[in-house]
Amino acid sequence: MVGKNEDNLEEKVLFVNRCSKVVKGGRKFSFSALILVGDHNGRVGFGFAKANELTDAIRKGGEAARKNLITFEMEGTTIPHEVLVDFDGAKLLLKPSREGSGVVAGSRIRSILEFAGVRDVVAKSIGSNNPINQVKATFKALCQLRSRQEALKIRGLS
């Protein structure tokens, strides 16, 4: 499910989980949804929401994703440097690659990088394949990216 909104953000459902609780009258179902929004131009966000109805969970997740938008450093069509991130059990390695090589990554990480506007990158997910932890690790990695000028400034070089 991919949809466009008025503020040029595209929305995609990354993961839906159905939980059931056995009560006196039978089973009661609830849903959780992991939603991704992005503009393919350097802005991306994710939201996680729970509700008794699937449509409500998706709507709430989309609202949460719009509140959690981030921007990050890019160098042309790729990322400026390699980054290795550990979040809970999920480890993630992002490497820049040459122009034209495309996004080489697993399904959830690929979706995030494409929605963010990164066109050439290599990613490897090590460890957990829990969708929420993979998404949080990817966002942590994107937040750690620095431009060359920033890195030189931090080192004290001009």
Question: Is the per-residue pLDDT at 6 higher than 60?
Answer: no
Question: Is the per-residue pLDDT at 147 higher than 90?
Answer: no
The per-residue pLDDT for range 27-81, each reduced to its tens digit, is 999 999 999 999 999 899 999 999 999 999 999 999 999 999 999 989 989 999 9
Phi, psi of 32, rounded to the nearest 5 degrees: -125, 145
For 69-89, b where at least 16 C-beta lie within 10 A, e where not — what string? eeebbbeebbbbbebebebee
pLDDT score, position 155? 85
Q: Average the pLDDT over 91-102 and give the result.
A: 94
pLDDT score, position 7? 75
In this prediction the pTM is 0.90
For 7-40, b where at least 16 C-beta lie within 10 A, e where not — what string? eebbbbbbbbeeeeeeeeeeeeeebbbbbbbbbe
| Alpha carbon distance 34, 13 (integer Å) | 6
Would you kindly state where each structural domain of the chain is located, as residue ranges? 2-70, 73-155
The per-residue pLDDT for range 123-146, each reduced to its tens digit, is 999 989 999 999 999 999 999 999
The per-residue pLDDT for range 112-129, each reduced to its tens digit, is 999 999 999 999 999 899
CATH number of 73-155, picked from 3.30.230.10, 3.40.718.10, 3.40.30.160, 3.40.50.150: 3.30.230.10
CATH number of 2-70, picked from 3.40.190.10, 2.40.50.100, 3.40.50.360, 3.30.160.20: 3.30.160.20
